[in-house]
Amino acid sequence: MNLAFLLPAGLAALAAVLLPLLIHLARRSEQRPTVFAALQWLRQKPKPRHRIRFDEWVLLVLRVLLVVLLALLLARPVLFGAASDAPFVAVAPGVAAVEAQRIAVGPGARWHWLAPGFPALTAQPATSEASITSLLRELDASLPAGVALTVVVPQVLDGVDAQIPKLSRRVDWRVVDANAAAPAPNTPRTAAAPTLSVRHAPERADAVVYLRAAMRARQAPGVVDIAQATQPLASGTRNLAWLVPGPVPVDVLAWARGGGTLLLDAQATIADPPRMAPLWRDAEGTTLVEGAAFGRGRVLRLTKPLAPANMPVLLDGAFPRQLRALFAPVAPPPSRVFAALHAPTTGAVASPPVPRDLQSWLLGLIVLVFAVERWLATGPRRGAAA
């Protein structure tokens, strides 16, 4: 174990140890000579040399120690290498403690739950929605580099990230039978066909035909709500094609910022448009639709009018699929996997060792020394001696 100081400049306060010494010298008991007449004829002896003398050594030592402890407190001492090197066993919730302890590990191993705070295995783990993957990374960063880590998990893990965790150490990954029929891991579901609302100007009536035909294609047909621009949106609308030239109304933009996906006409304008990126290109590489995040939603914009003369892709058989892809919600990654396929890999950079902070211990010792010093300085014994 190594002792270090986070603020070494605080040790300069050690110079204050001179204060108790000076106070004891200034307040030491004085000796006043008394003259007797019968002694005045005696031959005068040489006066003894003046010597520095300290009274009440115990009280002086306590006061010097108190100053030293305060200086150390200012220097923020920490202790490196105080963490235990015993093997660490983390048991994921879903595994019975009795079943986990049947696994053979090294002598003196520490058993804990793989849960927030890593409570001891003897305690009941608290239910939590914390990610197993995040807990593994946190545990790997908190343990010293040489500590062996064993993780006991059930056959199926819930609450994992999309990526297999990468740690700084090799993990002994133990998969045990939870003695229960485990549900099958999640698989990405095929997203349902999106619904689309269309609000158009009278001069864009011909363009609506292509949107209606694309959304009602045989492959996963979607629902289309088509009306004039003056018609309000139905409750729960998530996707809107705004085929109206000119400035977009404020209420439509507010709807998009709230989480909707808005497809704008090529001639529609926004006062402060976001910086957009290409989302759909034709075979020649020309951008047909561009988009960007817009608050909690998205805003898309056609770069050309919806007419075969400007966009020949409207007559292509792939147009319905491309259009639905613009509005299709992103399927969430699976959060339940087979544990055998989610064993951590190595290669992550090891975190620096976490030192043990000694501030709380110093504070307790300072309070104790101060209490003893006050008791000696003001107690009955001192009054009697005076």
DSSP-assigned letters across all residues of 61-90 = HHHHHHHHHHHHHHT-EEEET-S--S-EEE
Packed helices 319-327 and 205-215: angle between N→C axes, nearest 10 degrees: 90
Tell me the CATH number for domain 196-327.
3.40.50.880
The per-residue pLDDT for range 138-196, each reduced to its tens digit, is 888 888 888 899 999 998 888 777 778 889 889 999 998 754 444 444 444 444 556 88
Query: In this predicted structure, which of 36-45, 116-125, 229-238, 319-328 has the lowest mean pLDDT?
Result: 36-45
- Using DSSP bridges, classify how beta strands 277-281 and 171-175 pair: parallel, antiparallel or unpaired: unpaired
Distance, in Å, from the CA atom of 301 to the CA atom of 266, rounded to the nearest integer, reads 6
> Across the beta sheet with 171-175, what order do the strands follow?
110-113, 88-91, 149-153, 171-175
Q: What is the DSSP string of 203-266?
A: GGHHHHHHHHHHHT-SSS---EEEEETTSPPPTT--EEEEE--EEPPHHHHHHHHTT-EEEEPT
Contact present, 167 and 351 (Cβ < 8 Å): no
pLDDT category at 346 given cuts 50, 70, 90 is confident
Return d(Cα 221, Cα 192) in angstroms, integer: 9
Burial 324-337 (b: 16+ CB within 10 A, else e): bebbbeeeeeebeb
Q: Which of 305, 296, 297, 302 is nearest to 322 (CA)?
A: 302
- In sequence order, what are the beta bridge partners of 153? 175
Listed ranges 26-40, 110-124, 217-231; the one with the highest mean pLDDT: 110-124
What is the predicted pLDDT for the residue at 219?
A: 46
Q: Which of 11-25, 30-44, 126-140, 356-370 has the lowest mean pLDDT?
A: 30-44
Domain ranges of the chain: 2-28+54-81+357-385, 88-179+337-354, 196-327
What lies within 8 Å, CB to CB, of 274 at 6+ separation is 292, 293, 294, 299
C-alpha dihedral, 302 to 307 to 312 to 318, nearest 10°: 70
Amino acid found at 117: G
Beta-carbon contacts of 285 under 8 Å, excluding residues fewer than 6 positions away, are none
Residue 150: the pLDDT is 93
Q: How far is CA 191 from CA 145, 205, 277, 328, in A?
A: 44, 30, 24, 7
Residue 319 has pLDDT above 70, yes or no: yes
- What angle do helix axes 18-26 and 57-74 make, rounded to 10 degrees? 150
Least confident of 30-44, 99-113, 365-379: 30-44
d(CA 135, CA 143): 12
Distance CA 128, CA 134 (A): 13
CB atoms near residue 290 (< 10 Å):
18
What is the average pLDDT value for the chain, to the nearest integer?
79
d(CA 140, CA 171): 9
Q: Report d(CA 378, CA 370) in Å as an integer.
A: 12
Q: What percent of the chain stands above pLDDT 90?
A: 19
Name the CA dihedral angle for 133, 134, 139, 142, rounded to a multiple of 10 degrees: 150
Determine the residue type at 159.
Answer: G
d(CA 261, CA 294): 9
Strand, helix or coil for residue 197: strand
Instruction: Work out the burial of residue 109: count CB atoms within 10 Å of its CB; fewer than 13 is exposed, 13-18 middle, 19 or more buried.
Output: middle
Q: Show Cβ contacts of residue 225 under 8 Å, excluding neighbours closer than 6 positions.
A: 195, 196, 197, 198, 234, 237
The residues, ordered by sequence, that sit 6+ positions from 172 with a Cβ below 8 Å of its Cβ are 105, 148, 149, 150, 151
Mean pLDDT in residue range 72-99: 81
Q: The tokens of 199 are what?
A: 């609000």
Q: How far apart are CA 181 and CA 246, in angstroms?
A: 60
